[in-house]
A and B are shown apart, each in its own frame.
Chain A
């Protein structure tokens, strides 16, 4: 518009303003759809926990607890991939570090749930700072390869460290008491610990939902959409990416801290490439950039794996085929697809889109 002096300035400005308003309205509809999906998720989880708890079930409650824990790792992938546009192939590293830290604290320091949570946050922040400073210097596929390499190296080192149990891992982790003052439970109480983990995941989810609407969250999306433009708006993309990386590693590490309480052991396999890819697959199935999608994706993936594994030993092929179907037909994942439907419907209600 600057190079066209003949056009009055007011017309395009108002057109731009309308476009912005429309975009904002659409985004609100999108998030409303996702918020409904998240209410359904957490309400469903509570109902499941109560129903199966009353039934006295063990296996499905503990499987769901595991799905929530891995869901947090998928959430951390979503922060990087869905918001900052960074594909990490080694997110399991931070999960594994949190798990080893948790295991060591429980075995050697104190059987305290809160101490484990504190230590795993600390481990997540520190390891995320180190890993992030190394990885975010590179972009695109090089970033992905560095994150992959870091996870492989640390997993190998632990595999060969006798003090950390080497390939045998660490077992004999005591069953912790979780006390909230007014209510307490034990990690081997299937329903009780399910609700503890659900609460932790809900807090993480709500925190991230809040962050996504803050200027920081917006700026992260800016990095994903057009990194080169951000400096012109007064942002430093490297710092934003590092902040996202540390946030993601901290969440993965918290999830790691919960794992040994549930399963009573840790082993180097927790950091392997398989574990990292599972988090990515869960995120993609659920819907990248939707926050609630990765939680749905993780539940679907964990339950599918358990069920298919019973029927056939070729479960990896089945999961692979499922992943391909999702990527080809629902490239935005299940929640991304749902979001599209809701938006399309609201447009027809408004009397047609643009």
Chain B
């Protein structure tokens, strides 16, 4: 009797083992390299919650072509040197079919090259450097989120609507990112008739911005464009309010005022305008469900990173099902020109540069949330395809 039961137990174990190996062979492995440590760790957590959430939902609904989606995480650390090595591990050892979750733009470019050399595909949902789908585009890299250029042109289109020939004053931190963000917006705004009232660069981490307020007041701008971030934005916006410089519209890039620094500035950022592709208030049925579910899982409000990362699995699923395979070349062909439903609206992957085209919004900060003001057509915001690699 005992012998019988052990035999049965052994058989049962053998059967489960066989079952699991069979199931493993059929799993679709998706690798993710979000930053779990370093300056972008909070974004890394958002990425993990969004991917876990969507993978569970897809698996509950039968997976991709009946195959289960398995996520394999490695810490990208916001360091390209570490991330390239870990990407190679994901491709070579874990044998992932697809990679996502990269944040730091330089890291996305370096890891994209690893993907290219391993003949696998990468899609970023956060990195916004124009180079990724511009002059340094790669046949193996796709971008689901809007590029920096799309953000700038959407905001410039809003500014042109706000006042014809608006006088814009620019203020940013004195380093490459601060300057290039301003240059980007300025180019787009001036194309649409805006004029420059002045341009100043403060040292990164400046304590006092009031020294610039005299010339700013004298220039009488209609709009102040800022490319500051983090605590710099807190000081700048608080001081502008203290000095009563409130008769101009405050606008800036999407990193200027975020949930990270919003609490520190009281209501000094009230009415601040930026551009983006996401707000929890964009009225689609999918968004309503998503925003609630995400908040319950992550204990924070859903943001653009959450929405784009959540939808990257839908993008991949649609492409694999269209290709009928996980083979990189077939999936790439399927991804080109693919249209799918994102959380807050339709996205179309442009075949020429692998940039997802999507409607953009001018977003106004009211209370603690960004409210969509005006929709900007995705095609218009994206501008021409500048990639010449294929």
Contacts and interface: CB of A to CB of B under 8 A. Distances in A.
Interface of A: 57-59, 62-63, 66, 159-162, 165-169, 171-172, 188, 263-265, 267, 269-270, 272, 274-275, 305-306, 309-310, 313, 315-316
Contact of A161 (B84, B114, B176): B176
Contacts, number: 89
A306 B83 CA distance: 10
A267 B81 contact: yes
B22 interface: no
Chain A interface SS verdict (over half): helix
Interface residues of B, number: 31
A166 B176 contact: yes
Contacts of A63: 85, 88-89
Contacts of B89: 59, 63, 306, 310
A309 B86 contact: yes
Given A162-B176, A168-B131, A172-B113, 14 more contacts: A57-B92, A59-B89, A159-B175, A162-B180, A165-B106, A166-B180, A167-B176, A169-B106, A171-B112, A263-B81, A264-B114, A265-B110, A269-B81, A306-B85
Interface of B: 36-37, 74-75, 79-82, 84-86, 88-89, 91-93, 105-106, 109-110, 112-114, 117, 129, 131, 136, 175-177, 180
A166 B175 CA distance: 10
Nearest to A264: B113
Contacts of B80: 169, 265, 267, 269
A313 B92 CA distance: 20
* Residue picked from A57, A66, A171, A315, most chain B C-beta under 10 Å: A171
B251 to A, nearest CB: 23
Contacts of A274: 79
Contacts of A168: 105-106, 109, 129, 131, 136
Given A169-B106, A267-B80, A316 B37 contact: yes
A100 B49 CA distance: 37
A160 B242 CA distance: 32
A316 B41 CA distance: 14
A239 to B, nearest CB: 35
Given A168-B129, A171-B136, A306-B86, A264 B117 contact: yes
Contacts of B112: 171
B136 A167 contact: no
A160 B201 CA distance: 14
15 contacts: A59-B91, A62-B85, A62-B88, A159-B175, A159-B176, A160-B176, A166-B180, A169-B106, A171-B109, A263-B81, A265-B113, A274-B79, A305-B82, A306-B86, A313-B37
* Residue picked from B82, B88, B180, most chain A C-beta under 10 Å: B88
Contacts of B86: 306, 309
Contacts of A275: 81
B88 A167 contact: no
A265 B81 CA distance: 9
B12 to A, nearest CB: 30
A59 B88 contact: yes
A269 B109 contact: no
A244 to B, nearest CB: 27
B117 A188 contact: yes
Contact of B106 (A167, A263, A272, A315): A167
Contacts of B180: 162, 166
Of all A-B residue pairs in the complex, the 4 with the closest CB atoms, nearest first, are: A59-B92, A313-B36, A265-B110, A166-B176
B109 A310 contact: no
A171 B88 contact: no
Nearest to A307: B89
A68 to B, nearest CB: 14
A301 to B, nearest CB: 12
